A = this chain, B = another copy of it.
């Protein structure tokens, strides 16, 4: 878990000069002002960087500036960092530098429904999701065989209610944070993990945890949302992938997708189709995050896809 918000350099990159050119991804945000692009491009030119992709966005609503640059260079990582440091300080930037080939260390949480987990694990294995998954955490045991098939350690962290009415949620969340620390986790993905996280945990994982939930037009609150949507006769069902915040299902939206449905489909059909949309949408959001394409603009996201 990255704890330095203003500048992150992968440890592996600090060991000095490398013989061949390295692909890097630079993301930054700051208050919009003149001269940012010139300063950044100048620093990159100074380390003989070859820019392969660059996107920027000036948010007229928040007055913030966002930039993502992919480039290659033969310079040592420390030299790139040194070149950027004065610019970061001058413009008071939140600036991050990532090695393009380094995969995001991801902890996946799940419960009993395996559809989104299966999508994540297959795509990770197939190489279309640039993440490593050192550990899977679940409050149930149903999906352990799937974890075994993919050779990923599966940790059972049950969340239970005791006789006196209290529960072990605090202990379970502490266990999760231990696993996050132990495995150098950079991203937590809630793949239909059916427990509400505490506000404290949401804040600790701010911008580092992605959840998926069903979405409809209009939206429905409470239990059995697909059944509510079916009863209401909606013609589209969908899913929203978003960063986790203490406001349940209200965090910054990363990706949304929908599928058409008809009167002839049952609530059970809605659930099945919804699972497909959820899996596809979650994978998309995780990929964008892992490729450092998602930046936060207040309660919104800027997605440089």
- Cβ-closest chain B residue relative to A48: B34
The 6 closest A-B pairs by CB, nearest first: A233-B300, A38-B41, A215-B217, A218-B219, A235-B256, A37-B41
Interface residues on A, range: 35 or more
Instruction: Kindly state the separation between the CA atoms of A254 and B221 in the bound complex, as whole angstroms.
Output: 22
**A122-B115 contact in complex given A37-B51, A57-B264, A235-B255, C-beta closer than 8 Å:** yes
Residues of B within 8 A of A57 (CB): 53, 263-264
**Interface assignment of A253: CB less than 8 Å from any CB of chain B:** yes
Instruction: Kindly state the separation between the CA atoms of A253 and B149 in the bound complex, as whole angstroms.
Output: 35
- Which of B53, B126, B263 lies in contact with A302, CB distance below 8 A? B263
Interface string of A1-21 (1 = CB under 8 A from B): 000000000000000000000
Seed contacts A37-B41, A218-B218; 15 additional CB < 8 Å A-B pairs: A34-B49, A37-B37, A57-B264, A59-B263, A115-B122, A126-B275, A149-B149, A216-B217, A217-B217, A217-B238, A234-B256, A236-B238, A236-B258, A260-B260, A263-B303
**Interface assignment of A276: CB less than 8 Å from any CB of chain B:** yes
**Number of copies of this kind of chain in the complex:** 4
Residues of B within 8 A of A302 (CB): 263
Show 17 A/B contacts (Cβ-Cβ < 8 Å), sorted by A: A34-B49, A35-B45, A51-B58, A53-B58, A54-B54, A57-B263, A114-B122, A115-B122, A128-B275, A215-B218, A216-B217, A218-B240, A231-B300, A233-B252, A233-B299, A236-B257, A238-B258
- Cβ-closest chain B residue relative to A67: B54
**Interface assignment of A198: CB less than 8 Å from any CB of chain B:** no
Q: How far in angstroms is the closest Cβ of chain B from A5?
A: 20
Instruction: Kindly state the separation between the CA atoms of A66 and B299 in the bound complex, as whole angstroms.
Output: 31
Q: How far in angstroms is the closest Cβ of chain B from A243?
A: 11
- Interface residues of chain A, those whose CB is within 8 Å of chain B, are 34-35, 37-38, 41-42, 44-45, 48-61, 114-115, 118, 122, 126, 128, 145, 149, 215-219, 230-236, 238, 240, 249, 252-258, 260, 262-264, 266, 272, 275-276, 280, 297, 299-303, 305
- Which of B35, B126, B297 lies in contact with A114, CB distance below 8 A? B126
Interface centre among A37, A118, A305 (most CB of B within 10 A): A37
The answer to whether B218 and A233 have CB atoms under 8 Å apart is: no
The answer to whether B232 and A217 have CB atoms under 8 Å apart is: no
The answer to whether A299 and B232 have CB atoms under 8 Å apart is: yes
Residues of B within 8 A of A215 (CB): 217-218
Residues of B within 8 A of A60 (CB): 52, 266
The answer to whether A300 and B219 have CB atoms under 8 Å apart is: no
Residues of B within 8 A of A238 (CB): 217, 236, 258
